Amino acid sequence: MTPPEVSASEHDLIMITRALIAPQQHDMWVLLCRSRELPPKIGPTCEALVREALGRVWPVLWRRSGARVETSIVDGRPVRGRGWERHAPLPLEFSGATLDVLRWLIATPLAVPVSTVPALEKATLTIGDQVVIYLALDAATGTSAQQMLARQPMVRAAPLAWLGFAHVLHDQPEQVDFASLAHGAGPVVVEALTRELAHRWYTLELAKRSMSEPAEIVELGATQDATLGAFMSACDKARRRDLAAFVIDAAAPLVTRNLCPAPIELDTTAPLSARAGARVAAGALLRAAARWNEWNEQHRAVRFIDDDYPAAQLLLGRFEKLGRAGADRVATWLSDLASLAPTPASATIGAG
């Protein structure tokens, strides 16, 4: 069979799509370092091959979850199984925004000032578009491309980008509607990414312990508070509190290892008010865990005869990873952070 023929720029567009879907099989750095001018339109062969690559997103997301047997709340009832067993097949739609992201990755040179980078303008995003943006930010981790991408209006309009990379986007997710992650295919995507979301937030909490610049911590804390607050509110409204379980998964090992996310050595030349503000800001994830504890008390009050009882029991079990003792420890840490009394450093510091 004769292999399909595409132009050099279309070849790179196809390869960047495949690299986002399966980064372990492609050299993402080489693709990002190239810079090609793309024609205004792509040919039908290129379009078909890009669509084929995007058609593999669901299996990729299942693999990211480890294909583990979990329990979800589906139509108010707990359903157990692997991701594809818990949920009926849902189409993952992609709009022209996905192609805009792919073209931007191919056309944007990395060795230019950020101010000269062409903008990815804000657009109405499907959940498929959000997944592509998330995968692009993930694949570009550790490169200047991630910083450039994080500044783009389209990326900053993607709720999933904030959920996974709030620490890179900075500022706050103003006018970003997190409801798309709690309805339709959104919850299925979030569930598939729960494991890595928890790891990323946990690792970031450990990093706070070695941060010393108060302004940096305050900015990060405000971003985290706004992101987790908006997402948890969307989950609450959609009756899908289980989607925010990664908060528990991120906070529980901190409690187990007695690693409060308090900065150990703040810049002593900074004003006292700045240092106090930084300590409070460092507790963003802890505040989300405290909100989970409030939810937990509500779940405990659900009676056996209530319609929500099965879902409440699932959520009670999910919270046990943190538990009452862990919730008390979180409350103590938040109280300590609100004071200027330093939190004792643990002898065990690491991301293990």
Q: If you search the block for the tokens 């692009």, which residue do you land on?
A: 136
- Write down the number of H helices and E strands in the chain: 17, 2
**Rounded distance between C-alpha atoms, residue 52 and residue 188, angstroms:** 21
How do residues 273-309 score in pLDDT, each as one tens digit?
999 999 999 999 999 999 999 999 999 999 988 888 9
Q: Is the dihedral of CA 160, 36, 18, 11 positive or negative?
A: positive
Per-residue pLDDT band at 348 (split at 50, 70, 90): very low
Per-residue pLDDT band at 36 (split at 50, 70, 90): low
Tell me which residue of 149, 227, 134 sits closest to 186, measured CA to CA: 134
pTM over 0.75: yes
The rounded percent of the chain whose pLDDT value lies above 90 is 61
How do residues 145-191 score in pLDDT, each as one tens digit?
888 899 999 999 999 999 999 999 978 887 899 999 999 999 999 99
The rounded percent of the chain whose pLDDT value lies above 70 is 89
How do residues 182-213 score in pLDDT, each as one tens digit?
999 999 999 999 999 999 999 999 999 999 99
**Rounded distance between C-alpha atoms, residue 148 and residue 37, angstroms:** 18
**Rounded distance between C-alpha atoms, residue 257 and residue 204, angstroms:** 15
Has residue 35 got a pLDDT over 70? no
Per-residue pLDDT band at 352 (split at 50, 70, 90): very low
How is the chain split into domains, by residue range?
A: 1-54+90-157, 169-352
DSSP 352: -
pLDDT at 245: 96
pLDDT at 72: 87
φ, ψ for residue 7, nearest 5 deg:
-75, 170
Q: What is the mean pLDDT of residues 4-15?
A: 80
**Rounded distance between C-alpha atoms, residue 72 and residue 150, angstroms:** 31
Under a CB-based contact definition with an 8 Å cutoff, are residues 277 and 265 in contact?
A: no
Task: Please list, in sequence order, all residues whose beta carbon lies within 8 angstroms of the beta carbon of residue 325, skipping any fewer than 6 positions away.
Answer: 255
φ, ψ for residue 157, nearest 5 deg:
-95, 0
Per-residue pLDDT band at 116 (split at 50, 70, 90): low
**Rounded distance between C-alpha atoms, residue 270 and residue 83, angstroms:** 49
Q: Per the structure block, which two tokens stand in for 137?
A: 């930010």
Has residue 115 got a pLDDT over 90? no
Under a CB-based contact definition with an 8 Å cutoff, are residues 124 and 152 in contact?
A: no
